[in-house]
Amino acid sequence: MVTAVGQGVSWTGYEFRRARMVERLRQMGITRAEVLSAMSAVPRHVFVEEALRSHAYDDMSLPLGLGQTISQPYTVAVMTQLLFSQRPINNNLRILEIGTGCGYQTAILQALGLREIYSIERLRPLHERAKQNLRAVHLLAHARLVCGDGYLGLPQEAPFDGIILTAAPKEVPLPLLQQLSIGGRMVLPLDEGGVQFLWVIDKTAEGFQETCVQQTLFVPLVNDN
């Protein structure tokens, strides 16, 4: 189920660009219908700096200030698709996001119909901006935004069915592995000696299964400890 967003707010002039972005994502291999619908539903330009909004639907990352970026649409779509793989997307799933940033990935998760989303951002100005952005598109109701250290996760709310990282650590944070439920999946970029790769980690009763997907590029995940 994809939630309608932006009701009562005018997004005139961007609908065609967003539709073209979604078609490009389809051609690039994003096949999950729910993900494509969510990418179509969320107005990405609201999450982009005003001076850069003409590029909001181009397939490129854009600066947010404070050394952070909003990921390119393809990266958001492919990580979202990987997070759920072939499992049904339903509102019983509990998802943890590390690196809220401007809130765009959080909005995509909510547009999928998820009702338990937790998202951690270490930079207070971005944490506040994400709340403002999500309010603007009416997608804050089911997201709990926390300002804190993403390396630590949220043990008091664990376990999570899915964990998604939008910044790259040099190794998988152990607390996040511990907070993943049996049958759960983590999607994250890893910085391996200056080169980053996107990984999927599935937690089973026997242990962890790790799959390297593709090369990628993210800002680093900072450990405050």
To the question of pTM greater than 0.85 for the whole model, the response is yes
Task: Give the model's pLDDT for residue 12.
Answer: 55
Q: Which amino acid is at 53?
A: R
Domain ranges of the chain: 75-215
- Percent of the residues in the chain that have a pLDDT greater than 70, as a whole number: 93
Domain 75-215 has CATH 3.30.230.70: no
Q: Assign 63 to helix, strand or coil.
A: strand
Task: Give the model's pLDDT for residue 225.
Answer: 61
Average pLDDT over residues 193-204: 93
Neighbours of 24 (CB within 10 A): 16
Query: Pick the catalytic residue: 10, 61, 71, 181?
Result: 71
Residue 93 contacts by C-beta under 8 Å, 6 or more apart in sequence?
A: 114, 116, 161, 162
Task: Give the model's pLDDT for residue 5.
Answer: 52
Q: Is 71 a catalytic residue?
A: yes
166 close to 101: Cβ distance less than 8 angstroms: yes
Residue 82 host element (H or E) = helix 73-84
pLDDT in tens, 46-79: 999 999 999 999 999 999 988 889 999 999 999 9
Written as six digits, the tokens of 179 are: 């907070």
Written as six digits, the tokens of 51 are: 């001076």
pLDDT in tens, 11-37: 457 899 999 999 999 999 999 999 999
Distance CA 87, CA 83 (A): 9
Average pLDDT over residues 209-221: 90
